[in-house]
């Protein structure tokens, strides 16, 4: 059991803080956002993440997990400090490390004993060394510290399970002391024989970008394959399934759609390209994946225009705003550019999402016309576009739906509807890589 402080109580900080408490550690989660901390202290969860409330409640009730808006005292009370603040995209694609560095300075000023400072935020290679120099320069005491890299691989929507039962834990350490303490933090995973990759800090930092960039490449690859399938009458799902049966390829991340989004892949691929350029490495494959991803939004818009060539004055119903199902996160969601493209073509947009509508209005489109149900959204629409594969949308009653529409046009950008049913009920449809089967 270790005394831990997690700074930054967002998607990663809250899930990993609660998860590490579940492993038996004593954890304080802190954040500069007082409102968030007040909500958590009142037993409310500020984000939508399946199973998170139960995990938090269980550990709060067992007195292993607390929340504090006092970042400084939380640091002083802990031996292991996890930095889990945001690292958004900077102006030139680089990771913006302002929040990480601000936190490192606060830690330096509050070093009241030996501490481990561990980056859980996704940070470019070299950040650990940078933080070490910064803390050494800013600290006002003689206490020692170690900087560790422990990148996080959880996925929004299944974050609790991913954290509690991970495929692997990566620890970048430079001393045995730090290595022993980090293994103690993850002791319950260690005894479950979860693979632990213990390596140096630059390797751990690079593993995270390598993993995300590879997955982004896989998505862009299958999207381009889907675009070919559309032209030649092939079925991309059968292609993906057959590819995935090859153990060297695996079936994961071979789902075509409107392109990847969210708070990780877009910024992490750009940041990797930026880091490569700094070191004279041209990441041609990753650059191509980024370009293909940007084009994929236009592929969906082109499909909309195939069904409704002149969108001016037409009503389009958007079903799904979150970048993926089971999250309220709309950062870099494909829905944003697609809605903007439709509006630029003169369409008026109505939208529905079971969870993410509020965030879309709050962060990006304050005037978006959002509705509370699918049927209210599609009423009198000339075109429906499905952008998020929510379970609720997978089960759409297509017969009933058609009666509410002005014209039976559907772009299923997630391939969640049955092609047989779309044909049976007389829809004009497009999907991704199966439109001509
Ligand atoms: P987030 O925006 O949900 O949370 C970040 C939190 O940090 C916010 O609550 C914010 O108020 C807080 N914060 C910012 N500056 C602070 C400061 N100076 N002091 C204290 N708190 C501060 O972000 P997130 O999605 O949890 O991502 C955090 C990091 O984890 C990023 O580097 C991201 O790339 C990485 N990551 C994210 C995911 C994911 O699925 N979201 C997965 C793996 C890794």
Mean pLDDT by groups of 10 residues along the chain of 437 residues = 96 98 98 98 97 98 98 98 98 97 98 98 98 97 97 97 98 98 95 93 98 98 98 96 96 96 97 98 98 98 98 98 97 98 98 98 98 97 98 95 97 97 97 89
Question: Are 219 and 194 found together in one domain?
Answer: no
Question: Are 72 and 109 found together in one domain?
Answer: yes
Going by C-alpha positions, the residue among 48, 79, 278 that lies closest to residue 160 is 48
pLDDT at 192: 84
pLDDT at 436: 80
For 327, list phi and psi in degrees, rounded to 5.
Answer: -140, 160
Q: Whose CA is nearest to atom 29 of ligand 1?
A: 121
* Residue 9 beta carbon below 6 angstroms from any ligand 1 atom: yes
Query: What pTM value is reported for the model?
Result: 0.96
Taking the C-alpha atoms of residue 66 and residue 61, their distance in angstroms, rounded to an integer, is 10
Write the burial class of residue 391 (CB in 10 Å: 0-12 exposed, 13-18 middle, 19+ buried): exposed
78 domain residue, yes or no: yes
Q: How many structural domains comprise the chain?
A: 2
How far apart are the CA of 219 and the centre of ligand 1, in A?
Answer: 24
* Residue 152 beta carbon below 6 angstroms from any ligand 1 atom: yes
437 domain residue, yes or no: no
206 domain residue, yes or no: no
How far apart are the CA of 84 and the centre of ligand 1, in A?
Answer: 5
Question: Are 193 and 253 found together in one domain?
Answer: no
Burial 133-164 (b: 16+ CB within 10 A, else e): ebbeeebeeeeebbbbbbbbbbbbbbbbebbb
Question: Are 273 and 172 found together in one domain?
Answer: no
pLDDT at 115: 98
* Phi-psi map region of 196: left, alpha, beta (phi>0 left; psi -120 to 50 alpha): beta
* Residue 12 beta carbon below 6 angstroms from any ligand 1 atom: yes
Taking the C-alpha atoms of residue 273 and residue 263, their distance in angstroms, rounded to an integer, is 17
pLDDT at 348: 98
Q: Final residue of a domain: which of 150, 170, 199?
A: 199
| Domain assignment of residue 145, given as a range | 3-199
How far apart are the CA of 337 and the centre of ligand 1, in A?
Answer: 23
pLDDT at 358: 97
pLDDT at 437: 76
Question: Are 244 and 372 found together in one domain?
Answer: yes
**CA-120 nearest atom, ligand 1:** 30
pLDDT at 305: 98
Question: Are 247 and 195 found together in one domain?
Answer: no
* Residue 8 beta carbon below 6 angstroms from any ligand 1 atom: yes
How far apart are the CA of 263 and the centre of ligand 1, in A?
Answer: 9
pLDDT at 94: 97
Question: Are 105 and 70 found together in one domain?
Answer: yes
pLDDT at 191: 84
Which residue among 69, 86, 128, 163 is best mutated to probe the pocket of ligand 1, counting the most ligand atoms within 8 A of its Cβ? 86
């Amino acid at each position: 059991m270790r005394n831990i402080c997690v700074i930054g109580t967002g998607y990663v900080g809250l899930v990993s803080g609660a998860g590490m408490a579940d492993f038996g550690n004593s954890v304080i989660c802190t954040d500069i956002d007082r409102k968030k901390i007040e909500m958590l202290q009142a037993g409310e969860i500020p984000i939508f993440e399946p199973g998170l409330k139960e995990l938090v409640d269980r550990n709060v009730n067992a007195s292993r997990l607390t929340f504090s808006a006092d970042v400084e005292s939380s640091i002083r009370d802990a031996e292991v400090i996890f930095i889990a603040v945001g690292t958004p995209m900077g102006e030139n694609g680089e990771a913006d490390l302002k929040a990480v560095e601000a936190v490192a300075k606060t830690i330096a000023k509050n070093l009241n004993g030996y501490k481990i400072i561990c980056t859980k935020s996704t940070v470019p290679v070299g950040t650990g060394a940078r933080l070490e120099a910064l803390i050494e320069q800013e600290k006002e005491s003689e206490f020692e510290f170690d900087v560790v890299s422990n990148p996080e691989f959880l996925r929004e929507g299944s974050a609790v399970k991913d954290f509690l039962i991970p495929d692997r834990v990566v620890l970048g350490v430079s001393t045995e002391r730090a290595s022993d303490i980090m293994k103690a933090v993850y002791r319950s995973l260690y005894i479950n024989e979860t693979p632990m990759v213990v390596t140096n800090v630059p390797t751990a930092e690079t593993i995270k970008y390598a993993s995300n960039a590879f997955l982004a490449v896989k998505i862009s690859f299958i999207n381009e394959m889907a675009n070919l399938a559309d032209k030649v009458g092939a079925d991309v799902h059968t292609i993906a399934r057959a590819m995935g049966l090859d153990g060297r390829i695996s079936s994961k991340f071979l789902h075509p759609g409107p392109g990847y989004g969210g708070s990780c892949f877009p910024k992490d691929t750009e940041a990797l390209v930026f880091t490569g350029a700094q070191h004279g490495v041209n990441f041609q494959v990753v650059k191509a994946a980024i370009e293909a991803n940007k084009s994929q939004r236009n592929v969906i818009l082109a499909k909309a225009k195939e069904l409704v060539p002149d969108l001016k004055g037409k009503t389009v119903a958007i079903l799904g705003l979150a970048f993926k199902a089971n999250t309220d996160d709309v950062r870099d969601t494909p829905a944003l550019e697609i809605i903007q493209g439709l509006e630029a073509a003169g369409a008026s947009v109505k939208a529905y999402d079971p969870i993410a509508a509020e965030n879309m209005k709050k962060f990006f489109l304050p005037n978006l016309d959002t509705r509370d149900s699918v049927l209210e959204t599609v009423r009198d629409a000339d075109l429906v576009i499905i952008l998020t594969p929510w379970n609720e949308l997978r089960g759409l009653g297509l017969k009933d739906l058609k009666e509410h529409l002005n014209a039976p046009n559907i772009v299923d950008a997630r391939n969640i509807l049955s092609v047989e049913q779309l044909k049976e009920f007389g829809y004009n449809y497009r999907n991704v890589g199966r439109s001509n089967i």
